Amino acid sequence: MTPAGNRRSDDVKADGGLHEGAQHLDNEHLDNERLDKERLDKERPENQRLDKWLWFVRVIKSRTQAAALVTEGKVRINRERAGKPSQTLRPGDVVTITVRGHVRVLKMVAAGNRRGPATEARALYEDLTPPAEPRNAFDELTASSGVRAPGQGRPTKKERRQLDRLTGDD
């Protein structure tokens, strides 16, 4: 049905029905909805701009930032540096991206229609990024608590006192 804002009071008959012109608007609106749905139901485009695809798959928060990544040389397509944000991606292309010090390897599965939720974005790519190397438990302990390996770095107060006792300095 036509939204109430598009209907004039003189379109409505006394019996509650619509005059022919208003009925025509209703049918036209329904036809437009059907066409829009058909357009969305058609297959996604095969090719897509690189910056747009990076934004659709939620690698980066905005298209402008995606374009900046490309121009800074932090994006590669099939092992070759991407020259410009408007470069075309095709399904099967492997995209390597460096974002905030992390390297991600993504294979394009499909082009997107919109920047939807994360679940929809995951359907557009296959993640080929190798799993991160397990961190050494000692490294994690030292980073968070300040513990260090013996003989490394500046001595703690306790170690300084032990050295003073050993050398006899008071």
Residues in CB range of 155: below 8 A, 6 or more apart: 163
Q: Mean per-residue pLDDT for 116-129? A: 92
Amino acid 95: pLDDT? 95
Query: How would CATH label the architecture of 48-127?
Result: Roll (3.10)
From 37-41, 91-95, 165-169, the region with the lowest mean pLDDT: 37-41
Percentage, residues of the chain above pLDDT 90: 44
Burial class (CB in 10 A: 0-12, 13-18, 19+), 157: exposed
Query: Would you list the domain boundaries of the chain?
Result: 4-41, 48-127
The residue type of 49 is R
CB neighbours of residue 119 within 10 Å: 7
Mean pLDDT calculated for residue range 103-121: 92
Q: Which residue has the higher pLDDT, 92 or 13?
A: 92
